[in-house]
Structure 1
Amino acid sequence: MIPLSSRNKKIIGGVSLSIILIYIVVSFFSYNQSVLIKTYQGESHLEEEKQNGSFDTTLLAEVNREDFTVDSDYGYQLKGSYLKVSNEQFPLTVIMVHGVTHDRWRMMRYAQIYLKNGIDVVLYDHRKHGLSGGNEVSFSYFESRDLEKIVQWTKQKKPSDIIAAHGESLGAATVCSHSGINETTHSVNFYISDCAFSDTKNLLVLRAKEDFGMPNIGFVDTTSLLAKIRAGFYFADASPIKGIRQSKVPVLFIHGKADTYIPMEMSQELYDAKSQGAKFIWFVDKAEHARSITTAPVEYEKKVMNYIHTMMTQLLSKQNLPI
């Protein structure tokens, strides 16, 4: 082997240092764009949602609203609202789980389906969103554990009720991750997952390429290491598909066929990975990301309520309760 000259050693050292610096800079940039994404924390979007006409505001006026606070296991508070209908038709409460950069009131476009059908609803703000505390988005890792705290609050409030969780985007990934936790806690009876991602790393590799033109040459892996150091989780920890593989309770997967932000193939992966318990999937024609309910509102409500009726019939039959 020919020994390297002093000049060549300096060149190699300089190139190596430059590469390391590039990875450090890109990792911090990626971390800020993902884990520390701007979420308008400290603000409520209720008035904005009302002005956008995203839900029937008379429904909110007709329910008994109770705002509540739950302590997360991670040192911050979660803020939520319990909406109790006056004409309860089912012993069922549905927990609504919102997507990234939104807050609890985004989910009123879905919650109105339940409210007008006589079903109580719980809405809450994720960590680093709305009026809740927390400093980082963890792509369902800590969010799924926070969801369990909300579920336990709900079960204390409505101890005889069947509990369901309905999530959109990050919220859908959260309910999928929670479905694995649920095999230990047995706290949720069934789920609805609307446009979930199946794996955080795969999603971020895709978004880095589409949004910033970044090739898949390890930047997401170094960002994951940074997330572990600064926020306490690896991207591999936030893997909804791992939860779904463990899940035995029913899940309805919904995804728009025109979704380019989280491809519909990710919901197909989740559906295929679920080997235990009932599963259903519906792909919505022409629907973009998180737009299935606005693209096909009548069919969306029909699909959801048919699923609700099926689940409630089965669960109440097992409990020997009137249907």
Structure 2
Amino acid sequence: MKKKYKILVGIIVSLFVLFIGAGFIAGNYFYNLALNPQSDKSAVLDAPHNLIDSNPNEVKEKEARETWFNSHYEETTIQSVDQLKLHAYSIKNQNESNKWAIIFHGYSSDGLQMTKYAKHFYDMGYNVLIPDARGHGKSEGDYIGMGWHDRLDVVSWIDNTVQLNNDAEIVLFGVSMGGATVMMASGEELPTNVKAIIEDCGYSSVWDEFSYQLKEIFHLPAFPIMYFASAVTKLKADYTLGEADTVKQVAKSQTPMLFIHGSNDTFVPSSMLNEVYDAANVPKEKLLVEGAGHGRAENVAGAKYWETIQSFISTVPVTHTIH
């Protein structure tokens, strides 16, 4: 009887060890797939989801914007709180202004892909700053922060802008991961220089977004892979997928916020719009663009997109309370 018991215990322990081992192998695979900047992202990116213009008119406009951008930008760097060298493109408006738009790009992209938004804010009278997120573009970093550690980088860019211009009036703007980044930053203690935050198609949390993608792309449930992937992320990038919670950060915000999403978004489901909007306890507005896919709200809405942004910015309070 004791022999059978020992055999049973041995089998259970062996299966448990195999389960844990297989779990960490799977978790490491999905970590590298999603959060290693050097890995092939074709399995998780359905280009053209990531702001890529496709029709001839858009291509021509894109080329004109890039020509303008390349002849105006200056490069600047700062050091992050964890000693990474972070890079950004800066354009001072030809008309002297204290207004600044700090613009954040999406997943597996870089600041150079945000020229469309930079030009619009510039034409609205703003100086523009377009950082490369950690692990992207010319910024240092060996993992993708999905907005979580990046939220502290946002604070660093804000502080740097205020040091250069104490009277700066700042608007934070981001699309996709950049949208989540500015929302996550909204829960930090921001200076009164930050007047408004505008997010376009950001996710409600990293856990929810990755769980959704795991099901949509790989047809797999969140349990147990997400738990192992989160453990690997903690070991390699020092954050868990569960703590990177956009909704909780937005609930702490003291800054007026505008939320934008496309109704046909299949990369970050449009249902996440109401989650973040409902969490905000500040002056707020939302714009759901019918028929727009991920990162395409501006293309589909056209002038209404920018009219909504300009109207929102013009009606926000001059100052906000520091918590």
> TM-score normalized by structure 1?
0.86
The corresponding residue for 1:300 is: 305
Q: Does 1:66 align with 2:74?
A: yes
The corresponding residue for 1:285 is: 290
Distance in 1, matches of 2:246 and 2:64, equals 32
Residues 37 and 136 of structure 2 are in contact (CA less than 8 Å); yes or no, is this contact kept in structure 1? no
Q: Choose 244-253 or 104-113, whichever is displaced more.
A: 104-113
Q: Does 1:260 align with 2:232?
A: no
- Structure in which a larger fraction of residues adopt helix: 1
| Residue pairs, 1:145-294, within 5 angstroms | 145-183=152-190, 185-275=191-281, 277-294=282-299
Distance in 2, matches of 1:187 and 1:236, equals 30
Which residue identity is paired with 1:70? I
Residues 244 and 273 of structure 1 are in contact (CA less than 8 Å); yes or no, is this contact kept in structure 2? yes
Residues 102 and 171 of structure 2 are in contact (CA less than 8 Å); yes or no, is this contact kept in structure 1? yes
Secondary structure of the corresponding residue to residue 235 of structure 1: coil
Distance in 1, matches of 2:305 and 2:314, equals 14
Which residue identity is paired with 2:231? L
Q: Does 1:315 align with 2:318?
A: yes
Which residue identity is paired with 1:150? W
Specify whether residues 191 and 120 from structure 1 end up closer, same or farther in structure 2 by C-alpha distance, changes over 3 A only.
same
Specify whether residues 39 and 55 from structure 1 end up closer, same or farther in structure 2 by C-alpha distance, changes over 3 A only.
farther
- Identify the structure with bigger relative contact order (alpha carbons < 8 Å, sequence gap 6+): 2
Distance in 1, matches of 2:23 and 2:245, equals 24
Distance in 1, matches of 2:136 and 2:39, equals 6
> TM-score normalized by structure 2?
0.86
Secondary structure of the corresponding residue to residue 36 of structure 2: coil
Distance in 1, matches of 2:136 and 2:216, equals 25
Distance in 2, matches of 1:246 and 1:2, equals 58
| Residue pairs, 1:114-133, within 5 angstroms | 114-133=121-140
Secondary structure of the corresponding residue to residue 165 of structure 1: strand
Report the alpha carbon displacement of residue 54 of structure 1 after superposing the two structures with TM: 3.1
Let me know the Cα RMSD of the aligned residues: 2.6
Residues 147 and 177 of structure 2 are in contact (CA less than 8 Å); yes or no, is this contact kept in structure 1? yes
Report the alpha carbon displacement of residue 168 of structure 1 after superposing the two structures with TM: 0.6
Distance in 1, matches of 2:39 and 2:162, equals 29
How many residues were matched structurally?
Answer: 305
Specify whether residues 5 and 96 from structure 1 end up closer, same or farther in structure 2 by C-alpha distance, changes over 3 A only.
same
The corresponding residue for 1:106 is: 113
Report the alpha carbon displacement of residue 57 of structure 1 after superposing the two structures with TM: 2.2
Distance in 2, matches of 1:38 and 1:252, equals 33
Report the alpha carbon displacement of residue 67 of structure 1 after superposing the two structures with TM: 1.3
Which residue identity is paired with 2:25? V
Distance in 2, matches of 1:195 and 1:219, equals 25
Report the alpha carbon displacement of residue 236 of structure 1 after superposing the two structures with TM: 2.3
Task: Output one character per residue of 1:269-302: Cα deviation in whole Å (capped at 9) or x when no partner.
Answer: 0110112x20100000111111111122221111
The corresponding residue for 1:26 is: 26
Q: 5+ unaligned residues in a row in structure 1: which ranges?
A: 41-47, 319-323
Report the alpha carbon displacement of residue 156 of structure 1 after superposing the two structures with TM: 2.0
